[in-house]
Each structure stands twice: as structure tokens, then as C-alpha cells.
Amino acid sequence: MAEIVFAAGIPHAPAVVGLFDKAPDEARAVVAATFGAVGRALRAAKPDVVLVFANDHLTNSRITAYPDFIIGHAAEHAGPHEWFKEWIGCRDWAVPGDPEVARTLFKGLTKRGFRMNAEAGPLKFDDNLSVPTVMTELDSTGIPVVPILQNCTVPPFPDGARCYALGQAVARCIAEDMPAGLRVALIGSGGLSHEPGGARYYKIDEEFDQLFLKLASEPDHATFLREITIPRMEQAGLGGTAEVLSWFIVMGAIGERQGESFGYTGWPSFRCGIGGVVWEVA
């Protein structure tokens, strides 16, 4: 039986890379503390593979045929995709994939009632994987990564209950289908409040973000699922805030666990609320 040895939720706003040096001290401190803590805890957990659940920002598919979940099966993943390089401004990165774990996940989630899509070739990555990878220096660890890209922005998309249930299926797949002794890390990449490309591009809903971080850190998922609804996410920023659904998958997989967050900043020029959580899973 494989086991989950690490779980975290982090944002992937590109401006935490591009505007880091221009941000005020308190905002820089939150960014450094959050990604630093996640990176250290990830290394300490010594995982054999990292499953990263992250929003696909209309990067891989046309809007007229948009999948809800794509599992990357490639032997290597690299980014950022050419068009996003200038925008994100981060260095190039590459991580090994894990085609066997990807196949097991694809088969296991399918048989448990979740429509997944498998991509054997290279996926295009923007900030979704690039920002967490470079900010935690995941690519320096050599740990294989399986990206699971999800639809959080093209309506209709799977809601909180469905994403949480998917997480529960991920846990069963890890426990029942993956090799004994395999150490699995889970990362949800997305959020917090933001409205990319919208009229409220510079609006950050600090009240939502603080509530979200508080509830996500507490071992009471009934309250979390009741309070953090799609309408409340959209109120906090249309088309962007719902990226926190990636955290729902991780929370569904680990069950009710205590989490630790590392501060919060709503500096407007980040155009996204910034905060993260590492959950106790050991």
C-alpha cells in the first residue's frame, strides 16, 4: 500500500516571480515564507513522486472541447511554454515524469467513476506548474512529477463536492492501486482570490482569502465545503478564484487534517491573494 507523505496548497500567481523585487517587504516576506516552507517540508517528506493538481488556464485545449481533467503521462515535463516565458519571467525548468504512476492514476480514477483524460505527449505549462516548481525549487530535487490539469475556469466545471470526491478517489487509488511503500506527495496549485483578465483584475478579496486559509487549515471539512462555494469563489474573483478547487482535491485525499499557513498578502499588484497551507499527514 502506497502512502501520502506530504500535502500542500499554494498559489501560482506569476507576479510573485516577476514583481517579487518590486513588492513591499511584508508581501515579499509572505511569498518567501510560504514557498520556502512548502519546499522544505516537501524535501523532508522524501516522496517518490509528486502529484500536482493545477488549473489549466486554457493552455492545452480549445474552449469548444475542454476537458475537466488531464493527467500528464510524459516521461519528462518542462516549462514554461514558449508564449508564457516573457509573461512569467521565470527560468526554464524540467522535471522527470512518472508514466507508470500516471497510468495507474488514470485507470484507477476512471474505474472509480471519474472522467479523466490522458496526455502521452508534452503538456504546455504556464504559471500553473512553473511558479510552484521554481519557487520551491522542486526541479532541483529530481523527484518525478505527475501533473493533473483541471478545469476551474471554463463553465460548467466540477464543483467543490466533485473535486473533494475526486480527492477521496485519489486516496483510494494511492492506497489500493499503487505499489507498496511508494511515498506520494500531493500539491494543489491555484488561487487565492483573483479575476484574471476581468474588470476586477486588481481586486483582491482579502475577507474571502482569510476565511479560506482559516477553514482549509482546520480539520472540519463539512464547514469548509459549506462555506467555500462556487458562488462565493466567483464573488471573490470570476474565473480565477475557483482555482482553489485544486486544494479541494488534496483535502479530499488526506481527509480532515490540521494545516499550517505562513501568512497572507493581498498586495494589489500581485493581482492575486497569496497564502499557502501545509497539512500534517504523517
Smaller CB separation from other proteins, 7 or 238 = 238
Smaller CB separation from other proteins, 195 or 209 = 195
Reduced to 3 states (helix: H, G, I; strand: E, B; else coil), residue 203 is coil
Minimum gap (Å) between residue 67 Cβ and other proteins: 14
Partners of residue 146 on adjacent β-strands: 51
The rounded radius of gyration (Å) of the Cα atoms in the chain is 17
Minimum gap (Å) between residue 61 Cβ and other proteins: 9
Task: Compute CA distances 132 → 50, 80, 90, 107, 199, whole Å.
Answer: 12, 12, 11, 27, 27
Q: Are 253 and 19 in contact (CB under 8 A)?
A: no
Minimum gap (Å) between residue 73 Cβ and other proteins: 21
Minimum gap (Å) between residue 76 Cβ and other proteins: 20
Smaller CB separation from other proteins, 22 or 46 = 22
Q: What residues contact residue 122 under an 8 Å CB cut-off, 6+ apart?
A: 74, 76, 77, 78
Minimum gap (Å) between residue 193 Cβ and other proteins: 14
Q: Are 274 and 27 in contact (CB under 8 A)?
A: yes
Residue holding cell 520551491? 136
Smaller CB separation from other proteins, 202 or 258 = 202
Binding residues for other proteins (CB under 8 A)? 14-15, 17-19, 22-23, 57-59, 62-64, 82-83, 86-90, 124, 153-155, 195-203, 234, 238-240, 268-269, 271
Smaller CB separation from other proteins, 36 or 157 = 157
